[in-house]
Structure 1
Amino acid sequence: MQFPISSKVLPLTIAGILSTGMISANTALADNAQETVSVTPGRTVNPTEVRVMSRYAAHILHYIADARSAINAKNIRAAKSDLNRAHSLIGLLRLEQPTAIVRDHISVAKQHLDYESVEEVTNDLVPIEASLSEIEAFVPVEKARKHTRFARERLKKNDKAGAKKELEAADAALIYTEVDLPIASTSRNINLAQLALDNNQLEQADDALNQAEEGVKFLSTTVVAPITQARNSLWQASKDYIDKDYTAVKEDIARAGVWLDKAAQSTDNTTRKEAGKLKRELEGIRGKIDQRGESSQSSLKNMWHRSQALAEREVEKMSAEWGKLRADSEAKVILIDAKLRIAYAESAQFTQGKSREVDNELDAASADLARAAKVSSKTLAEKIHTLSDKLAKIKRSEKDHSAEAHKRYELIKADLRQTIHDL
């Protein structure tokens, strides 16, 4: 079972790992012993957390580089030792994600299933549900919430085994794309390298570590990418508008505009095009803030949802580049675009009520799923056909603004997110 690590214990733990092989890193961390990540409810990653994530990434990258040097010198024992240290740091980094608190609560509930009463374990679900509410502004939680609800239903029937499966599914559904994807890619490639080293396949091990380095490099920059920063500012603008702090809203919009200008210079066509559209729309409502109408609030919410989808897409596209030699890599790229279309349709349906846009986006997403299925392995194609059936149900209720209709969008996005994450 995982336990939260206090601000005093974590730096000492890191130092213990680093002291065995990297004196300079140990000194750097000792000099900043209080520079740890804290997760505050209802907000995105802050500058202090960005620095700490970048520091983790630098240390992990150092160990991977040491391992590659050892491989070049045919020192397999040293390479394995370096990769074990890199893995340890990745584990600590995972503990510092916004989802870590929820996962700790889930872990406690799963442990209690072995020896506590059904009533006690049911009480354990309360902090899980509360923690999900705290992070839902920037981490998709609908699927985890669904499985937590199913766990509660299982417990009512005294089905502890079923409740445990639902809690495990809730844990697996918690994906913070901007950090989880590069971490997963890095960890997967380190595992491949270790396996290759076990079989004395030095060239294959080095190739895997070359891919691992790409994931680490992206990890240190993903949370400060322009479209991610624009999303953060738009989320804050939406929040400040609800709080009627209109001066703050104008400042948030100005910051979002700066980041959208930078995102509009992206080499990715979709990011460049959509960031430009968002910037133009932002300029359109700038002078309407003082009118304090519901239309401005809806527009801000719509832009935040779209920027959120774009931020996820940027990370997912990069992960597709890392794994372009993996099976189903072509399908992965198409699925990423399908998820973006579905997110745009959701935003158009629930924040703006634009039926034509909803139709267009859902039709494009449906076509993307059909294309992805054609270039997929049999197992993946079966998953995609299931997703297509779910999308068809959404298309039949595109004028439905109920909570149930909204949940269907969230669940299909969660399924796509999990599929993309696993490829």
Structure 2
Amino acid sequence: MKIIDAGITTPKGFKAAGFFGGIRRKKDDMSLIYSEVPANCAAVFTKNTVKAAPILLDIEILKNTNLIQAIVINSGNANACTGKKGLEDAKTMVETVREVLKLDKDRVLVSSTGVIGSPLPIDKITKSIKENYKKLGNTIEDSNNVANAIMTTDTFQKKASVEIEIEGKKVTIAGIAKGSGMIHPNMGTMLAYITTDINISHKLLDELLKESTKDSYNMISVDGDTSTNDSLIVLANKMAGNKEINIKDENYYKFKEAFDYINLSLAKQIIKDGEGAGKFIEVNIKGAKTKKDAREFAKSVISSSLVKTAFFGEDANWGRIVCALGYTEIDFSLEKFSINIENKENKIDLMKDGIPLVFSEEKALEILKMKEIKVNISLGEGTESATAWGCDLSYDYVKINGSYRS
């Protein structure tokens, strides 16, 4: 696997464009991602019972087909809780793209992100699509324009790209994402899009996507809030020219490694850009009875507001971590429990085999002052492990979200 500095248009046959649609004051707020040929599509969406109109429409479209050729995206307005009109507007966006690109029915998906409860300026959007679809291109600049246009409170682009070789054919995988707040996925991520030119069956692509999210996007948390608009969409257009992967052979696992890398990289970038975040925190659970238990323990710790604020305050309050493990209501024995914290230079044990340790507060503070911190927890109950990623919770998070609509 070769990590490359590329963009969403680097896989063969993909083009993209980012442009201004009139939703926001000045910043580009519209994007198009396009494949020259219909691509196998796999997607996961928010588990929030309140789903935005684009999510509802995409779910219906994907009931009818596995092949998608374009995605239209807007930022600045979530088109959520907007009733019948919101669904009509989402359909209008899809239909406008279908018409200008001359695509068959059910070949276009739609995503939105931004403020909840406001109607889309749909006339401005359709006008902009008709004027700007011709900007579709496959340069790095085109890719960067899309990565910028999908951002809301993000402070930097989230992107990742890799190359692998399968049967002598170069296969490229590229992804972009947005997200820095309302981050506590229970499916995939905030908004993320992955393009690849690999030839893989829809069945395996769909299965791989669902599995890959379990240890990437579903293991991150900024603030514990699951968005109404979370979407992760993958397009595989087969243009690399490899023989179709339809069994879990060596080629499948080679692709899986690269695909998992893309998802984990994007997930970590989202955390590092958490609203108001100053610290990147990794929670490692070892010795759980089951994989499910390990994931729940790790996610419970990283999602705890009390744990997050302790890290913001640089306080080695391990009691909050133990308490967060208990939120899961999964039984474990404190007599087998151990915990330490570390960064690249230092490590300190806080509790060993259920016994609280006398530790140097000064050394603990040195670790907690760092930008990246690991929390290592051993349960001694079994052999399963899991890792979750998150950030601290700061005053700035409150400031950003206290005035989000303005």
What TM bracket, shorter-length normalisation?
under 0.3
Instruction: Name the structure where helix makes up a greater proportion of residues.
Output: 1
TM-score of the two chains, using structure 1 as the length reference: 0.25
More strand per residue: 2
TM-score, length-scaled by structure 2: 0.25
Structure scoring higher RCO (CA < 8 A, sep ≥ 6) equals: 2
